[in-house]
Structure 1
Amino acid sequence: MGAMSATADGVVALFSLIMAVAAPLFDSQIVLARRFYPAPLVEIHQWFIAEFDDYLVADPPPSFIGLVWLDLIFLWPVCVANLYGILTRRRWSATTSLIAGVYMITYLSAILGDMLGSGKATARLLQLYAPFVVFAVTAVLRGLCSCSAPLTAAMSLAPSAQKKMV
């Protein structure tokens, strides 16, 4: 069980690190003017669009722009807190993992629904999003399993505590 927990921590921490860096540097280029960014970042963003043929990033519809704003305002701070919580072994990081995982499942449902429904997505683009699905499920499971462990331990102590009182 310890190895699975460490693996889940590693997956969620890696995703949180990626989001903590990528959201302000790359995702924000979708909603803010590119003149605010250094040329190398804009070039990397353009390379990404060309390399993965990400039509949503290239010509974002209003719904996608709204999701990106949610990423920046909501998910980015949660991922920063989550990374800190995992690295410092805070108990509340289970909650931030659960929040980030549920958010990503919701986000990916909208994105993948558009990609699959429109028929515009390439296999390579869908493969790019696959690790995020793995993260989302892992983060939800980490949050749920970590939250139930202290409760289970407290419940197992309750009957013995009652015996000692009597």
Structure 2
Amino acid sequence: MAAAPRCRERLFAFYFLSHIPVTLLIDLQALLPAGLHPRGLTELLQWYAATFRDPMMLQPPEWFKAFIYCEAFLQMPFFPIAVYAFLKGGCKWIRTPAIIYSTHVATTLFAILAHILFHDFSKSEHLGPQTQRERLILLSIYMPYLLIPLLILFTMLYNPYYNHVEKRKRK
């Protein structure tokens, strides 16, 4: 049987580990009342939104807020579990939760990327990307959050270590 892909497992562990502070300190600001986060974190979010022309983080549309609620209540509890499983390595039990997580996240990212590519920001948000270059820069910020979950999905579905099915012997 093939061994677990350790370099990918370490990448996945780092992805989930890094996602914890990003979710708690940055992403959840869109849901929580103003003034709840320290001023420095609020300024960091404002700097990010202005620098990368991302109005969704400062004035999130309702559909985007729904994705953040999913991140807070469905994904966030999974992050430490995934960190543990991928750091430990060889945890076949992570397969099904990782498939669920990665398909959910990939689906949400397709909607976010489509919004970045095709929404007319000039009519509604002064902060949104105005040029193709600005759209591509903003896309590059979100793209790892699509590519890594797709790599997780591919690994869980096609790597023989995670996809091994025990064959029962016929009597």
1:115 is matched with which residue? 116
Q: TM-score, normalised by structure 2?
A: 0.81
> Could you say which structure has the larger radius of gyration?
1
How far off its partner does 1:147 sit? Answer: 3.2
State how far apart, in whole Å, the 2-side matches of 1:59 and 1:107 are.
18
Tell me how far apart the structure 2 counterparts of residues 84 and 70 of structure 1 sit (CA, whole Å). 21
Asked if 1:129 corresponds to 2:137, the answer is no
Match for 2:13: what amino acid? A
Listed one character per residue, the Cα deviations across residues 51-91 of structure 1 (whole Å, up to 9, x for unaligned) are: 11112112211111111111101111122211111122332
The alignment's TM-score, normalised by the length of structure 1, stands at 0.83
Distance of 1:103 and 1:24 partners within structure 2: 19
Structure 1 residue 101: Cα displacement: 1.0
Partner of 2:132: none
Q: 1:102 deviation in Å?
A: 0.8
Residue aligning to 1:69: 69
Structure 2 residue runs of 5 or longer lacking an equivalent are 122-128, 130-134
Secondary structure at the aligned position of 1:53 is classed as coil
Contact 1:104–1:136 under 8 Å retained in 2? yes
Q: Is the 8 A contact 2:10 2:87 kept in 1?
A: no
Matched, 1:84 2:65: no
Distance in 2 (alpha carbons) for counterparts of 1:107 and 1:11 = 21
Residue aligning to 1:147: 162
The Cα shift of 1:148 comes to 1.2
Whether the 8 Å contact between 2:116 and 2:138 is mirrored in structure 1 is no
Q: CA deviation at 1:8?
A: 2.0
Aligned length: 155
Query: CA–CA distance in 2 between the matches of 1:119 and 1:108?
Result: 18
What's the RMSD between the two structures over aligned residues?
A: 2.0
Answer whether contact 1:101 1:139 (CA < 8 A) is retained.
yes
Higher helix share: 1
How far residue 137 of structure 1 moved from its aligned partner, in angstroms, is: 0.9
Partner of 1:8: 8
Unaligned runs of 5+ in 1: none
Q: What SS does the corresponding residue of 1:36 show, helix, strand or coil?
A: coil
Asked whether the equivalents of residues 45 and 57 of structure 2 are also in contact (C-alpha less than 8 Å), the reply is: no
Cα drift, residue 19 of structure 1: 1.7
The percent of aligned pairs where both chains have the same amino acid is 23
